[in-house]
Structure 1
Amino acid sequence: MAEELQAGNPDLLKELIHYTMPFGKHKGCLIRTLPMAYLEWFVQKGMPAGKLGMLLQTMYEIKLNGLEHLLDRLQKSR
């Protein structure tokens, strides 16, 4: 899966539109709506393994770089 992130898998962005947090304080919230502080906590403590970790890391990078509008446009085009 790390190779998907490096290669720029567009399906990850599509999943961020509807993927929900499966546990914790923000269980049931869309990953794209998670507060930056929560994502930063995962960066410090370690991202979960697998797909969830990849989605959280991707969302962190999107928010860090102010690119949330990409998800907005992608959602509108669906």
Structure 2
Amino acid sequence: MNQQELLEAINQTMPFGKYKGRKLLDLPEPYLVWFHRQGFPDSKLGRQLALMYEVKLNGLEGMLRQGLKD
């Protein structure tokens, strides 16, 4: 994973469902946990969702948000 892939994931918007149009970083943690249990799609979006799950699981969301402001 490189910085560009991380930035793309953070800025990607959810293309479908209840949270359509919302940035992946802004998705609620319970939604990402549900996706984790169901299995992430085998696609770029799936990898990005899995990354956001790990970000939130490990408490890194605040750090990423701060980095976006700088």
Q: Note whether the superposition's TM-score is higher than 0.5.
A: yes
Number of residue equivalences:
70
Runs of 5+ consecutive residues of structure 2 not aligned to the other structure: none
Residue pair 1:47, 1:53 contacting (<8 A) in 2 also: yes
Give the TM-score of the pair, scaled to structure 2: 0.87
Identity rate, percent: 50
SS at match of 1:17: helix
Runs of 5+ consecutive residues of structure 1 not aligned to the other structure: 1-7
- Give the root-mean-square deviation of aligned CA atoms: 1.3
The equivalent position to 2:35 in structure 1, one of 33, 42, 51, is 42
Higher Cα radius of gyration: 1
Give the TM-score of the pair, scaled to structure 1: 0.80
The equivalent position to 2:46 in structure 1, one of 50, 53, 56, is 53
